[in-house]
Structure 1
Amino acid sequence: MIAPVFFSLRPKQWIKNLILFAALMFSEKGLLLEPMAWLYAFAGFLIFCGLSGSVYLLNDIADVEKDRLHPKKSLRPIAAGELSMTEGKAALIVILLISLVAAYNLSQLFFFMALAYFMLNLAYSFKLKNVVILDVMCIAAGFVLRATAGVGSLKGLEPSIYISHWLILSTMMLAMFLGLAKRRQEIATYQDEAVLHRKILAQYSLSFIDQMTSILAAMAIVTYSFYTVSADTIAKFGSDKLVYTVPMVLYGILRYLYLIHIQDQGENPSEVVMRDRPLQINLVIWAIAVVIIIHFSKSGWFNF
């Protein structure tokens, strides 16, 4: 039973929870260099892996009949009969309770974000996933809650830590962009049968999605650019050099557009990132640049 439950938690999707560590990257109090801060952030990461895993279990239980018609989803433990519905429900309750209790003990903000994340996914699973546009907005809101939870995980060490409104908007736009790219690839791959796998796809078309992804890609770049040059950001980090990371964000989004339009990828954003070497290299370079500019430029190590 342990192996089927583990695979039902979708460990490959846990990469999405790495956004919780963004709070460390964008902290101005030197938390990035404190081992205790990493411990708190890692605890938050594990809790959200449990929470997101319980959401995946919930979806597998609710969509078991549809999953059995899908070429890939039919291999999931519940759909394949490797994990019974009773065992799946029991695992869901246990993992959810453990995750929420752990979240409560981390910080008040973290607990509220964790609870809001699960309630949002509950609404998504049973209602909002069938409401056009709101379905993708729910997915994006989940990433915003994760990012805010990352801040909440560090509240015990630094009560004044916060997340910029520009960064929240940028996260929202990027997450919606990725969510719509996923919808696009599902329609392109399954065509007339797409609606059998996801009912809401009947409300989308490739041209409609392409228009929205273009808008959201532009908005993600613009909001991140505004974040890097805002007076609050410059005052917070004591540097105006974060703007130099904008080209990396621009390349990353354009590369992703290339992958979905030319290479016909994008159905699973996590797998796209894990497979595409240029995207990985760009992400690493961006992360290194952000860390150097925020945490080392003021020390004189990289004073430029």
Structure 2
Amino acid sequence: MTERTHATGPAADGAPRGDRGAAAALVRACRPRQWLKNLLVLAAPAAAGALVRPEALLTCAAVFALFCVAASGTYLLNDVNDVHRDRAHPRKRHRPVASGTLPVPVAVTTGILLCAAAPLASLALGNPPLSALVAGYVLLTLVYTRHLRDVVVCDLVAVAACHVLRAVAGGVAVGVPLTPWFVIVVSLAALLVVVGKREAELRAGGDAAGSADAVRPTLRGYTAAYLTQTRTMASAAMVVTYCLWALDQSEGPRTLFHAVSIVPFIMFVLRYNLLVDRGVGEEPEEIALRDRPLQLVLGALVVLVGLGIYL
């Protein structure tokens, strides 16, 4: 008798099959590693000293979850839209949609449901401005996927704006004021990360003629020199703005901890720029998870700012 194999067993090449394999592929396509970006919702409440309140922590946790749902929905739809480009990319071709482990109809259906669920669920918090921000995030991301990603400079601004919306949403949800210093520093930091990502993509794909164009057409409109200059400009402006915030007494008393925090802040910016120059900025979340020196200076920055705010 011939031995039968079950549909739920592993494939000959080791890839999972059946419901468990499809579920695993769906989870991977939701990119849980990139949920790290949604911690930006904590920035404004933390800077305002509001995280000592349990209700503020619960609200921030709910907003974090909302943006994780929204982001995962947009990632799925983005992967469907980019399936042909991703298959031409040496790393992105392994994504579940591009590799075929996640069927396109499943990705589309789940993506639409998640994109709709996040704004609708936000209504339960009874905060209309927050719901508008979540809906605006979803809308901006979808417009970026369909149109803005192929428009030079607009693609940088759109992605950076998505980061800023996360940070603003955290402040709006908890009801803390958003100072000009905060918005400017977050905006410049977001631009720095996005430009670094584009620069790394250009370097990685530009060695082979046309390969970068096939994956991201806007790379044709950039040069490495332009992106480096933009990254330098954003870094310098962000450092100056942070120093002005740390030393400014007009919006509340500043302590020695605020002043000393300038040191790890500058070290953080310098380290990040060094990593981008080495060509590893294509996945910013991977840098945050793996680079120990960057983690150390970021930890020192958080501790010093926290001591200045909460003591």
**TM-score between both structures, scaled by the size of structure 2:** 0.88
1:200 aligned residue: 218
1:108 aligned residue: 128
Matched, 1:252 2:268: yes
2:88 corresponds to which of 69, 74, 81: 69
Following superposition, the deviation at residue 240 of structure 1 comes to: 4.2
Aligned residue runs from structure 1 range 267-282, under 5 A = 267-282=282-297
Following superposition, the deviation at residue 109 of structure 1 comes to: 2.1
1:285 corresponds to which of 293, 300, 303: 300
Q: In structure 2, what is the Cα distance between the partners aligned to 1:227 and 1:123? A: 34
CA contact (8 A) 2:77 2:112 kept: no
Aligned residue runs from structure 1 range 57-206, under 5 A = 57-106=76-125, 107-155=127-175, 161-191=176-206, 192=209, 193-206=211-224
**Percent identity of paired positions between Structure 1 and Structure 2:** 30
**1:257-284 Cα shifts (integer Å, max 9, x gaps):** 11122x3211111111111101001111
Q: Give the 3-state SS of the residue equivalent to 2:135 in structure 1.
A: helix
Instruction: Quote the RMSD (CA, aligned, Å).
Output: 1.4
Unaligned runs of 5+ in 1: 156-160, 297-304
CA contact (8 A) 2:76 2:111 kept: yes
Following superposition, the deviation at residue 232 of structure 1 comes to: 4.1
Could you tell me which amino acid in structure 2 is paired with residue 251 of structure 1?
M
Following superposition, the deviation at residue 41 of structure 1 comes to: 0.6
1:25 aligned residue: 46
Could you tell me which amino acid in structure 2 is paired with residue 98 of structure 1?
A
Aligned residue runs from structure 1 range 3-22, under 5 A = 3-22=24-43
Could you tell me which amino acid in structure 2 is paired with residue 257 of structure 1?
N
Q: Computing the radius of gyration over CA atoms, which structure comes out larger, 1 or 2?
A: 2
Matched, 1:264 2:285: no
Structure 1 segments, 4+ long, off by >6 Å, are none
Following superposition, the deviation at residue 27 of structure 1 comes to: 1.8
CA contact (8 A) 2:73 2:113 kept: no
Matched, 1:221 2:239: yes
Could you tell me which amino acid in structure 2 is paired with residue 128 of structure 1?
L
Q: In structure 1, what is the Cα distance between the partners aligned to 2:130 and 2:264? A: 30
1:47 aligned residue: 66
Q: In structure 2, what is the Cα distance between the partners aligned to 1:103 and 1:142? A: 17
Following superposition, the deviation at residue 65 of structure 1 comes to: 1.1
Q: In structure 2, what is the Cα distance between the partners aligned to 1:173 and 1:239? A: 22
**1:13-53 Cα shifts (integer Å, max 9, x gaps):** 1111111111231124xx32222221111111011011111
Q: In structure 2, what is the Cα distance between the partners aligned to 1:102 and 1:19? A: 19
Following superposition, the deviation at residue 256 of structure 1 comes to: 1.1
Q: In structure 1, what is the Cα distance between the partners aligned to 2:242 and 2:178? A: 13
Could you tell me which amino acid in structure 1 is paired with residue 150 of structure 2?
N
CA contact (8 A) 2:44 2:182 kept: no
CA contact (8 A) 1:25 1:290 kept: no
Q: In structure 1, what is the Cα distance between the partners aligned to 2:158 and 2:237? A: 18
Q: In structure 2, what is the Cα distance between the partners aligned to 1:56 and 1:162? A: 31
Following superposition, the deviation at residue 74 of structure 1 comes to: 1.2
Unaligned runs of 5+ in 2: 1-21
1:301 aligned residue: none
Could you tell me which amino acid in structure 2 is paired with residue 81 of structure 1?
G
Q: In structure 2, what is the Cα distance between the partners aligned to 1:227 and 1:55? A: 34
CA contact (8 A) 2:70 2:138 kept: yes
Q: In structure 1, what is the Cα distance between the partners aligned to 2:245 and 2:30? A: 34
Could you tell me which amino acid in structure 2 is paired with residue 18 of structure 1?
L
